[in-house]
Chains A and B, each alone.
Chain A
């Protein structure tokens, strides 16, 4: 009978229409700005820089080694190394980035900078509402915009952050033990405590 196939299709449409009121599998949309689906923990967006403690400058983990700048596939990171040094989380004097820019209009959120960073200094953010009014400078993230606290990192991805903290604490402990063998080992303990914050 001609038309039977169309009627069958109509039955599917009707089932979907009625079902969307009762069946959660059939209605999976949410009213976005008011309702939000929770983000998965692995969700990634643009990168940010992690700092320990309260001061974005003093606690910044980045030592301006420029590995991420070199490995970044679309070359969206720009770093200028400092001339002087500041102590890092285990108290070892290190360089810091005088300039650290990420052009997020170029960045493709591939996470390679995070994977290659040996200092756990750069991590992926979860902030996706990034519309800006200007086309150029507003999408070029400077160091002070990129620097976010370790607390923030704990808030957005607790499991990873806890792992990183454990790793850093172990490294600090090992460094402290090494230093304890030689005299003058006051500083590392406080720095290690700070990194746990």
Chain B
């Protein structure tokens, strides 16, 4: 499955000549940055022939706020609350990825209970991210409001859990180097277990709502197809890659945390179209529910944070580390270089939604403008992470 640049270039593309542009056959439209379906401030310069997309240039940077540079001047701990703001739907997984890379950098052990809590929170994050994605996707397809409200209702229950544990619904700032900040009480665990137990009922309903629906099928099947070769060569990760049938999940490949102790399957797609990407989320939610149930069974008592880690004046040894996790949107990694000082020398984020967005043009060519919305929605982007 090796793909070189030549094969990519040889892939079929409709010719766009300067002539057709000058003669007015192509219409250039600037979609966004203020567009309800771009999930934030994202612009696409689209060249249209009738309704068909012939060219698409994404324009990023409207939400750029210097995250990486701030990370170089803030202390190691000081960057933790900023990571919440990357992908503001999944602050728990962002925290985990950052904590993981600092732990790698400084060689910090994490207590067992903290690892279990992290897995519980990461899987809850996956549930609420996928739920809201499906709601938004249906919204983009024209099912205004109703499915999104159902999705948000379920998401709210999970956010309530986050709030009662960490103090904030979305900006959790929960993980610390070597553990977690607050211990989960038995009542919290019981509540979380109850929420997870009734969650599959909602997944069933959502599936009924979308799976057989003729409109959804017409709008999504064979729309925005990605081949496995293209996805691999462009560095796509997460549900989008697995929808093309590539079995790659960092939870299995890297086995970070205690994931090797859990039994779960990786759902795989076949066609790499929008419908597969949609179904990938439904199936992943079911797997996450399974992981959560195992985690609630196994979670041990004990400390939640490594007492050796200093809160103030934390200085990891000289070196570099790349920690990565399977965030709901794909592989989220933090690359840190330490020069022994209180703040990192280099702080780099590998955001999944930014890299998944890079093949937007390949997915959209030849489809209509209305399909662009659906394709963009199925990539699952959050502009806070794309622009950083």
Taking Cβ atoms with an 8 Å cutoff, the residues of A that contact B are: 2-6, 8-9, 11-13, 15-16, 25-26, 28, 40-44, 67, 71-73, 108-112, 115-116, 124
Contacts and interface: CB of A to CB of B under 8 A. Distances in A.
Given A28-B153, A110-B173, A40 B164 contact: yes
Nearest to B82: A73
Interface in B74-113: 74-75, 77-82
Contacts, number: 83
Nearest to A111: B173
Given A108-B81, A116-B311, A44 B167 contact: yes
Interface string B250-271: 0000000000000000000000
Interface in B182-210: 182, 198, 205, 208-210
Interface of B: 74-75, 77-82, 146, 150, 153, 156-157, 160, 163-168, 171, 173, 181-182, 198, 205, 208-217, 311-312
Nearest to A1: B214
Given A9-B209, A73-B74, A110 B165 contact: no
A42 B215 contact: no
A44 B172 CA distance: 10
A43 B167 contact: yes
Contacts of A4: 212
Given A28-B153, A42-B164, A9 B78 contact: no
Nearest to B146: A13
B163 A43 contact: yes
Return the 5 tightest CB-CB contacts between A and B, nearest first: A5-B212, A110-B81, A40-B164, A44-B167, A73-B78
Contact of B168 (A41, A71, A109): A109
A5 B82 contact: no
Nearest to B210: A9
A13, A109, A110: which has the most chain B beta carbons within 10 Å?
Answer: A110
B163 A6 contact: no
B312 A67 contact: yes
A120 B160 CA distance: 27
